[in-house]
Amino acid sequence: MLKGFRDFILRGNVVDLAVALVVGAAFAAVVTSFVTNILTPLLGLLGVPDLSTWSYTFANGSVVKYGAFLNSVIAFFLIALAIYFFLIVPSMRLRPKPAEPPAMKSCPFCATDIPVSAKRCPNCTSNLE
């Protein structure tokens, strides 16, 4: 029974998933720190108040902290924005661009260059399939 468990754990995809989870958690901590310590204080410069103190107290003493919820929503969008501009956009620029299909092809009968969409060669008038 332990041999089967060991084989399962040492399988490549389980180890890769564990590494991805640890790296993802570390990256999440970096992005959260960036948003909390850099982007959110910049919102203060724009006049956005600290929403965490906003709340509503009902008559029976129950407190709804809707400001904390709004802070979480704003943090979510700031994190998504940071990931997009600092991870997605640079990775899209690094990807190779797909090759454009050729505009010309060679006629198999007379070896002249003709458009890819041609059904008949304009030089030797051969039918092309």
Q: What is the pLDDT of residues 104-121, one digit of tens each?
A: 888 888 888 988 888 888
Q: Which of 31, 50, 53, 29 is nearest to 41 (CA)?
A: 50
Q: What is the pLDDT of residues 44-100, one digit of tens each?
A: 787 767 777 889 999 999 999 988 888 888 878 887 888 888 878 888 888 888 888
Relative orientation angle of helices 12-34 and 66-83, to the nearest 10 degrees? 110
Q: What is the pLDDT of residues 4-32, one digit of tens each?
A: 877 777 776 777 788 788 888 888 888 77
The DSSP annotation for 8-40 comes to HHTSHHHHHHHHHHHHHHHHHHHHHHHIIIIIH
Q: What is the model's pTM? A: 0.50
What does the mean pLDDT of the chain come to?
Answer: 82
Q: What is the pLDDT of residues 86-101, one digit of tens each?
A: 878 888 888 888 888 8
Check if the beta carbon of residue 103 is closer than 8 Å to that of residue 113.
Answer: no
